[in-house]
Amino acid sequence: MESFSSNSARSFIGRNVNLHLKDGAVIINVQLTALHKAAGKNNNLIEYINKKRKITRVPLRNIAYAEMLNLNLIKNPA
């Protein structure tokens, strides 16, 4: 399995995802807003907004993978 890289992170910008971290934690239902490149190797940050509109940044190296959400299942109660 490939590691989560800046190329794969760029494809999720603007979408709602669950972020699965390498330590086993999951950050649920956030919208990825930007990818910040820093000087040096492996210092990139991914920026996201949660439901309360709080902007947070997480180091890209801490993310195992991102799981895209289907908002139609969340918004439409059956």
**CATH fold of 6-68:** SH3 type barrels. (2.30.30)
Percentage of residues of the chain with pLDDT beyond 90: 64
Per-residue pLDDT, 40: 74
Cα-to-chain-centroid distance, residue 28: 9
Q: Is 73 a residue whose pLDDT tops 70?
A: no
- Across-strand partners of 18? 67
More confident residue, 61 or 1: 61
Domain ranges across the chain:
6-68
Q: Is 25 helix (H, G, I), strand (E, B) or coil?
A: coil
The gap between the terminal CA atoms of the chain, to the nearest Å, is 35
Per-residue pLDDT, 42: 74
d(CA 64, CA 4): 6
Per-residue pLDDT, 38: 80
Contact yes or no for 11/2 (Cβ under 8 A): no
